[in-house]
Amino acid sequence: MGSTANLDKMTMRQNYPNLWRTDLVHTIVADPPFCCFAFLCGPCASYLLRKRALYNDMSRYTCCGGYMPCSGRCGESHCPELCLCTEVFLCFANSVASTRFMLQDEFNIQTTKCDNCIIGFMFCLQQLACIFSLLACITGSEEIGEASQLLNCLSDIVYCTVCPCMQTQHKVELDRRDGKFGPQPVMAVPPVQQMSRMDMPVPPTAGYPPPPPYGPPYGYPPPPQAHGYPPANYPPAAYPPPGYPR
């Protein structure tokens, strides 16, 4: 059931109506200082972003944002800061992905095709490097060993490039939420167990104001209940309306 629910969430994230404020390609332009900081110290950036995503309330913290089987079973309630430090250093990739999922589910942000392509390329390159490393160990071939080292180096470069861009994308979105790009709609802190919007009711759509008391088309008052029409206090000049065929 858990895997099915996660698959459903992944599918729904593709149909969310909102977009990231900046895509992965332009994050270096959106916030160059933070992108460099995330490149030099990714775990520190991941720690700060997760804390901001939780509205600086560490009592809401759950390991990997509640998206992993170990979530809620690591003693997070007793020492959330230590658990978060352990997560960002030992499970760095999961910490970045969990913060991303939290922001997507909270603000209904979809993953664009361009971002999917970049992230998918990073994962495929890592898997390919792993396969070549296994083949080199099994066959003992020097050529395959050199190819595996080259692929490992290339996958590390791509990984170290994409992760800072993802973290900068999250930071820019949090800046918009916190009003650093000007006045934003006031947003209440979501409940502790409702960081994901999958189970929340659909918000009401913005509608038109209600019609005038007397309704269309010309705003006539309703006919009186007593005998006679129009009423004595009803101005004759208002009937028939201008332009109405006699």
String of DSSP letters for 111-145? PPHHHHHHHHHHHHHHHHHHHHHHHHHHH--HHHH
Number of neighbouring beta carbons within 10 Å of residue 114: 11
Q: Is the pLDDT of residue 15 over 90?
A: no
Instruction: Write out pLDDT tens, residues 62-73.
Output: 888 877 777 777
CB atoms within 10 A of CB 65: 24
Cα–Cα distance, 30 to 59 (Å, whole number): 31
- Tens of pLDDT, residue by residue over 181-229, are 655 544 555 555 444 444 444 444 344 344 445 444 444 455 555 555 5
Domain edges within the chain: 2-177
Q: Residue 243 pLDDT > 70, yes or no? A: no
- C-beta separation of 201 from 195 below 8 A: no
d(CA 38, CA 170): 11
Rounded CA separation 63/50 (Å): 11
Phi-psi region of 211 (alpha: psi -120 to 50; beta: other; left: phi over 0): beta
pLDDT tier at 232, thresholds 50, 70, 90: low
Q: Which amino acid is at 109?
A: I
